[in-house]
Amino acid sequence: MKFLKIHQELVTGEIAEQMCKICPFGAISEKDGKLEIGMACRMCRVCVKNGSPGVITLEEEAQETVQKSLWKGIAVFAEQEAGVIHPVVYELLGKALELAAKSHQSVYVLLIGHRLADAVQELLHYGADKVFCYDSEELAEFRITPYVNAVEDFVKQIRPSVMMIGATVKGRSLAPRAAARFCTGLTADCTVLQIKENTDLVQIRPAFGGNIMAQIITPNSRPQFCTVRYKVFAAPERKEQGAGEAVYLRMKEEQYASSVRIVEKIEKPKEMDIADAEVIVAVGRGVKSQNDLRIIEELAEMLHAQIACTRPLIEAGWFDARKQIGLSGRTVKPKLILTIGISGSVQFVAGMKGADCVIAINEDPNAAIFDVAHYGFVGNLYELLPRFFEEMRGGRRDG
Amino acid sequence: MKILVCIKQVPGTTAVEVDEKTGVLKRDGVESKMNPFDLYAIEQALCLRETYGGSVEVITMGPEQAKMVLQEAVYMGADRGILISDRRFAGADVVATSYTLSQGIQKSGTYDLILCGKQTTDGDTAQVGPETAEFLKIEHVSNVLQVVEVKKDGIIVLENQEMQVRKLCLPLPCLLTIEKDANTPRLPSLKRKMEKTEQKVEVIGLDDFSDQDPKHYGLAGSPTQVERIFPPEKNTDRQVFEGSSTELAERFTQILKQKKYI
């Protein structure tokens, strides 16, 4: 256990003032010539590194250490709904295989639900050594208590070193409860994962709205829980031949009970607010006629994208006003926006410049949109898109 | 109905930068504000009090200046604020924070319902709510769009999942995290500001808890450790492709595949 020690004998008025200033969190204060570290301290250790030498030092107190060799394996929680595996699971598996190869560990999958025989078989095509399954009627619907109980039972029996969970709505409920049950570390929304020889997981995640990256480890607790969002890692190719072993587990009868009752399930309409969309296909005046929107729709369907547009197309009556991006329309912040036949007026760009990735197709090489786009394609959409569809039909792959 | 809302003071802006050489956070001033997500939880709590009666209390963990957000909640209409503050809580990660909160909550009273914002703007983890529920050994539901009804045998809520909304009935006491934009939070009332509501904020620390082992709190009680912080890589690369439509279509396909959209 590490802590900060203040060497008061070295503190002078000048040093005290300097130390108070150096703390980025304003956690150091001076009282009667003595320094104090308050609750705002985030243990960033800037005072140790950049402060007056020796005034504040990092000390370590011996503590009980976890025996890491007893915790082996990288486990992936396989979220499913009615037996359909959430695609983030395959992505987690891809990363798990990579981490396992580096640290000489096995890859496990934990599946919880009801009537999962097909899901188990499917998962065995993705390279895991073992798929563990709790299959029971009480687990058919996601209810937090029995699901956490199953994770607990699995962890106690299998003792994995790492537990990876998708940062979905369910994952964000399950991961923290399970981590708290073991009083172990949980790092949310990791964007980079690496592993050390000693099986310590190096977790990198954005903080402060992505303005800062933090590298986090869980040096003395197991398992190491982390969540990862959908579409961060790459899914491995599905293997023709399934391999690995399916293991069905049962927990104690009382562990299956839940006091939560599902009254009703309401499917969400597909039509959603473009401001919430992760992928947007935006169209502008480069699209010549309303009939041509069919190819745009085809593209949007392929990318699971929402369609949005510029102001002129609203004025032309092609779209509902809620679909407009720009100063007088909606502001969007999707992961990907594809702009098609949009020149990129200041007003339009103001509504979409927060997008993580901008891909633009436009005929005019001088269009302002190319200053904003990460990937610009100077070309005619009526030629490029049909070619793209051909390409997709030719070399189609699942997913 | 006794309701408790967990809130947090966060930096006024997320526009912070890291000095690449020193690893120091550069902030524009030290302005802070109430975590915007918490406003929806407070509003939900106040609406429930209007319908079912009872009280709304707010709790936060942080340094002395975190009293400000409790005060703001009191101006919005909360009956009482509790600040959990102790220098031994410094450096707490998600687990230690949740454990501290659960101890503070148990010390402060017995509640029928505990509400949290969906997440904070500084950590963005959305994990403290569920972990706190685990330590309190009560049920929880995350991403609640609306509390539909409170009945004798439980509370009915709408849970916002990706593809569906589930209407759930769960027993009290329980913990809910309230979805962003679930309602329109009211503004702090000027009238309440004018009244002397200062005394409505109370401070508790480790010595008030049932578990007083300092090893369970702050940095010592935190299983995770931040090894370093650094600025994100900025993607300033801009690529513009020209060529035949076949070439462009190939490149287009390649990029979309690389980004895992097809």
Nearest to B159 by CA among B140, B133, B187: B140
User: In this complex, which of B27, B169, B248 lies closest to A263 when CB atoms are compared?
Assistant: B169
Contact A302, A392 (CB under 8 A): yes
pLDDT tens string, chain B, 262 residues long: the values are 999 999 999 888 766 776 666 555 665 555 789 999 999 999 999 999 999 999 999 999 998 889 999 999 999 999 999 999 998 898 889 999 999 999 999 999 999 999 999 998 887 789 999 999 999 999 999 999 999 999 988 999 999 998 899 999 999 999 999 998 889 999 988 888 887 656 688 999 999 999 999 999 998 899 998 888 888 765 567 889 999 999 999 999 999 988 888 8
Query: Is position B235 within any domain?
Result: no
pLDDT for A269 beyond 70: yes
Q: Give the whole-angstrom CA distance, residue A183 versus residue B221.
A: 9
**Using the beta-carbon criterion (under 8 Å), do A388 and B91 form an inter-chain contact?**
no
CA distance A377 to chain B (A): 5
CA distance B191 to chain A (A): 32
**Using the beta-carbon criterion (under 8 Å), do A359 and B255 form an inter-chain contact?**
yes
In this structure, the dihedral spanned by the alpha carbons of residues B100, B101, B105 and B108, taken in order and rounded to 10 degrees, is: 70
Q: Give the whole-angstrom CA distance, residue B114 versus residue B175.
A: 5
Mutate to test the interface with A, among B17, B180, B240, B247 (most CBs of A within 10 A): B240
Q: Are strands A201-207 and A212-217 parallel, antiparallel or unpaired?
A: antiparallel
Contact A378, B253 (CB under 8 A): no
CA distance A262 to chain B (A): 5
CATH assignment at residue B138:
3.40.50.620
Which residues from B are below 8 Å from A302, CB to CB? 262
Contact B246, B253 (CB under 8 A): no
Nearest to B217 by CA among B66, B82, B97: B97
Q: Give the whole-angstrom CA distance, residue A253 versus residue A17.
A: 62
Query: Is position B38 within any domain?
Result: yes
**Using the beta-carbon criterion (under 8 Å), do B14 and A215 form an inter-chain contact?**
no
Which residues from B are below 8 Å from A144, CB to CB? 130, 139-141
Contact A169, B142 (CB under 8 A): yes
Average pLDDT over chain A, rounded to whole? 91
Question: What SS3 class is residue A357?
Answer: strand
Highest mean pLDDT among A1-15, A148-162, A383-397: A148-162
DSSP characters for B176-193?
EEEPTTSS-PPPPPHHHH
Percent of the residues in chain A that have a pLDDT greater than 70, as a whole number: 96
Q: What is the predicted pLDDT for the residue at A397? A: 45
Query: Is position B221 within any domain?
Result: no
CA distance B170 to chain A (A): 5
Q: What is the ipTM of this complex?
A: 0.88
Contact A183, B97 (CB under 8 A): no
Which residues are CB-neighbours of A31 under 8 A, at least 6 positions away? none
**Using the beta-carbon criterion (under 8 Å), do B224 and A261 form an inter-chain contact?**
no
Which residues from A are below 8 Å from B247, CB to CB? none
Which residues are CB-neighbours of B259 under 8 A, at least 6 positions away? A336, A357
pTM here?
0.80
Mutate to test the interface with B, among A208, A212, A335 (most CBs of B within 10 A): A208
Query: Is position B138 within any domain?
Result: yes
Q: Give the whole-angstrom CA distance, residue A46 versus residue B30.
A: 17
A43 conformational bin, left if phi > 0, alpha if psi -120 to 50, beta if neither: left
The distance of Cα A342 from the centroid of its chain, to the nearest Å, equals 31
- Mind listing the domains of chain A with CATH numbers? 2-60 (3.30.70.20), 68-256 (3.40.50.620), 274-392 (3.40.50.1220)
Structurally, chain B folds into a number of domains equal to 1
Angle at B243 between CA B240 and CA B246, to 5 degrees: 115
SS3 content of chain A, % helix, strand, coil (to 5): 35, 25, 40
User: In this complex, which of B18, B95, B135 lies closest to A212 when CB atoms are compared?
Assistant: B18
The more confidently predicted of residues A388 and B22 is A388
Which residues from A are below 8 Å from B93, CB to CB? 185
**Using the beta-carbon criterion (under 8 Å), do A177 and B131 form an inter-chain contact?**
yes
Question: What SS3 class is residue A221?
Answer: coil
Query: Is position B242 within any domain?
Result: no
Mutate to test the interface with B, among A95, A260, A279, A358 (most CBs of B within 10 A): A260
Q: Which domain holds residue B46?
A: 2-216
Q: Which residue has the tokens 């979409």?
A: A352
DSSP characters for A261-326?
EEEEEEEPPS---GGG-SEEEEE-TTS--GGGHHHHHHHHHHTT-EEEE-HHHHHTTSS-GGGBBS
Between chain A and chain B, how many beta carbons pairs sit less than 8 Å apart? 285
The distance of Cα B171 from the centroid of its chain, to the nearest Å, equals 23
Query: Is position B177 within any domain?
Result: yes
User: In this complex, which of A25, A169, A219 lies closest to B161 when CB atoms are compared?
Assistant: A169
Tokens at residue A352, please? 């979409």
**Using the beta-carbon criterion (under 8 Å), do A262 and B63 form an inter-chain contact?**
no
Q: What residue of A is the nearest CA neighbor of B166? A: A265
CA distance A282 to chain B (A): 16
Query: Is position B230 within any domain?
Result: no
Locate all alpha helices (DSSP H) within A72-143, ordered by sequence.
Answer: 88-103, 117-123
